[in-house]
Amino acid sequence: MSLSRLEGVPANLLRDGGENVAITRGKLSLLSTNGKVAGQGLKPRSVLGDLSRNTRTTSTNAGSKSDATENDFKKPLNFPVKVIKKQTQEIEKVKQQSIEEIKPTILDTLTETTSAFSSQNLNNVIDIDTEFDNPQLVAVYVKDIYKYLHELEVNSPIKANYMEGYKIRPTMRSILIDWMIEVHGRFKLLQETLFLTVAIMDRFLQIEPKMVRQELQLVGLTAMFIASKFEEMFAPEIHDFVFMSDKAYTKKDILEMEYRVLKGLDFNLGRPLPLHFLRRYTKVATAVADDVDVLHHTLSKYLMELTLTEYDFCHYPPSQLAAACLCLSLKLLDENESLINVLWNDTLVHYSGYSFENLEPVVEKLCALIIKSETYKFQAVRKKYAVSKFYNISTIHHLKSPFINLFAKMALKS
C-alpha cells in the first residue's frame, strides 16, 4: 500500500502511541477536553464600555485630521520625465524574463544536488525524496537530517552490560519499565515519550554505578517527567508523578533527581529514537512494495516496545533496532513467502545503511523474544497491543509461524 492509500485511515489510528505517524499524522486538536473554547464565560469589564462610548469620537477626530492632511499635501510641479522613462524601461526588461525561464533552473539545481547525494550511479535504488512541491517533507535536505541523526546516536551510545558490578540488577530494570509502560498508558502520552524515558534512564544509570534500589523507581519517574516536558504539548504536572509513586517520593525528591539527571547528561536529550528511523524506513518500504501498509508499521512498533524491558537490547543503536523490527515484520506479513534477504532489498539497504547480514543477529534475538513474551511475566506491552486500536497485533497468528521458531533456535545457538 502506498502512502497515498494510507491517507484514508482515520486520524486517531495514525498517531503514535495509538497512532502510526510513519505514514501520516492526523490533525491536532487544540480544543480543551470539555469542548469549550478558552476564555468562554468571562465577564465583560467595565473599561470596555468606556472604550466603546469613545469610539465614535475618536473616529471622527481621526477622519477630520486625515482630510486636513490631504488638503495640505502639495504635488510637485515639475516631476522629472526622464526618470519615469528610465524606470519604465527597466520594468519592461524584468518582465521579459518570464517565471517559466527561471523555474526550470531552480528545479534542475535541486535535482542535481539530491541525486548526487543519494541515488546517482546506484542500481535498483528508488529515489523516494522527489516531493519538492511539499515543503513539509523537506525533500531537499531530508537526507542530511538523517545523516545527522546517525551521527547523534553514535555520539550518545548506551554500553552493553553496563550494569556489571552494580547493586541493582537487570531484573529490577525490567520490572520498573513494565510498570512505567502502564503509567505511560494512564497518562495517555505520546509513544516518543516512552522511548525517550527509557533512553534517559539507561544513559543516566550507566554513569551512576553507585545507584541503589531505593532510588531506581525515582529515576524512572524523573526520566518520564523530563521526557514529557521534552515531547508533550501538555505534560503531566509533578504532582501527578508523586501520586503515581503512591507518595513514596515527594515533589522535592523528583526535582532534586531531575537536577542530577540533567547535569549527568549535560542537558543532552537529543538522542534519536527508533521511531524516528522507523518512519523513514516504512516510507521507503511503501515506495518499493504496494502491499506494505499500516499493519507492517504497527507490528514493527510492537516489536520495538517488546525490547524496552529487555536489558540485552538496550545497547543496540536506534537505527539498527528499527531496521531489524521492520525487516522481521516484512517477513512475517509477507504472503508470497519470499526470502527475508530478498524482502530487505537494495533500496532499504541504501536508506537504512544496514544489510541483512548486519540485521540478522538482531532479528534472531527478536524471534526468541516473541516466543518468550507468550509466557513472560511482563505483559504490559502485549496487553497494550491486544486491542482493536492497534489491530490486535500482539495476537495475530503470524507471530507463531515456523520462521519464528527457526530463527529463535539460531539465536540460542549463538
Query: How many other β-carbons are positioned within 10 Å of the β-carbon of residue 287?
Result: 19
41 conformational bin, left if phi > 0, alpha if psi -120 to 50, beta if neither: left
Residues 189 and 303 in one domain: no
How far is 229 from 84, CA to CA, in rounded Å? 60
Q: Are 348 and 285 in contact (CB under 8 A)?
A: yes
Residues 408 and 278 in one domain: yes
pLDDT value of residue 411: 85
* Sign for the pseudo-dihedral over CA of 360, 320, 170, 379: negative
Residues 403 and 326 in one domain: yes
Residues 282 and 249 in one domain: no
Total domains, the chain: 2
Q: Given the C-alpha cell 542530511, which residue does it identify?
A: 144
337 conformational bin, left if phi > 0, alpha if psi -120 to 50, beta if neither: left
DSSP 27: P
pTM of the model as a whole? 0.72
The last residue of a domain, from among 264, 283, 304: 264
Residues 204 and 229 in one domain: yes
How far is 318 from 278, CA to CA, in rounded Å? 9
The last residue of a domain, from among 264, 297, 330: 264
Residues 256 and 281 in one domain: no
With b meaning 16 or more CB within 10 Å and e meaning fewer, what string describes 196-212?
Answer: bbbbbbbbbbbeeeebe
How far is 139 from 120, CA to CA, in rounded Å? 16
Residue 164 lies in a domain: no
Look up the CATH number of the domain holding residue 179.
1.10.472.10
Residue 163 lies in a domain: no
Cell of 230: 521534552
Residue 256 lies in a domain: yes
Helices (H) and strands (E) in the chain, counts: 18, 0
pLDDT value of residue 161: 94
Residue 287 lies in a domain: yes
Give Cα separations from 317 to 21, 118, 161, 277 (angstroms).
21, 22, 14, 11
Beta-carbon contacts of residue 396 (< 8 Å; ≥ 6 apart)? 299
Q: Are 342 and 333 in contact (CB under 8 A)?
A: no
Residue 328 lies in a domain: yes
pLDDT along the chain (414 residues), means of 10: 43 44 39 42 43 43 45 46 51 49 42 43 80 90 95 95 94 96 96 98 96 95 98 95 94 97 96 96 94 95 97 96 97 92 94 96 96 93 95 95 91 77
- Domain span at residue 257 reads 170-264
